[in-house]
Homo-oligomer: A and B are copies of this chain.
Amino acid sequence: MFEKDAFSQWLGIERIQDGPGQSHLKMLIRKEMLNGFGIAHGAITYALADSALAFASNAHGRHSVSVETSISHLLPLKEGDSIETKVKEISLNHRIGLYHIDLLNQDQKLVASFKGTVYRKSEEWQV
């Protein structure tokens, strides 16, 4: 899945560690990711969190799709900063999963807080 992911390649996402309900991703903020204020566009942070949501929820072996996601941007990110994910699986039942994802910078400061809800399809797959 990841190898064929063109946008994740552009972002330069690095997978540190994976597992069911977990996904530790890391990324460097580059000049091309900045908005008009010279800080990372909100979609850059969202991209890393949304990717972690997909990895963490699909790693249980059932196809999972996001049904609702929200993000609060707390601190700005500049060129050269790095950002990583810390996933908490809040709840998982037969059909629905709920995840909180912390986005941390290189000083382990919380730069954004993400929440994602997924729907788990019946079909299993090779992860």
- B47 A34 Cβ-Cβ under 8 A: no
| Total copies of the chain | 4
- A96 B110 Cβ-Cβ under 8 A: no
- A119 B95 Cβ-Cβ under 8 A: yes
CA distance A50 to B40 in the complex (A): 12
From DSSP, what is the main secondary structure of chain A's interface residues? mixed
CA distance A51 to B117 in the complex (A): 21
Taking the closest CB of chain B, its distance from the CB of A114, in whole angstroms, is: 10
- A74 B91 Cβ-Cβ under 8 A: yes
User: Does A98 sit at the interface, judged by CB under 8 A?
Assistant: yes
User: Does A28 sit at the interface, judged by CB under 8 A?
Assistant: no
Taking the closest CB of chain B, its distance from the CB of A68, in whole angstroms, is: 5
A sample of 24 inter-chain contacts (CB < 8 A) reads A4-B36, A5-B35, A6-B35, A7-B35, A7-B41, A41-B51, A42-B50, A42-B66, A43-B44, A43-B46, A43-B50, A46-B46, A46-B47, A46-B50, A67-B67, A67-B117, A68-B70, A70-B71, A70-B115, A72-B90, A74-B91, A90-B113, A117-B117, A119-B119
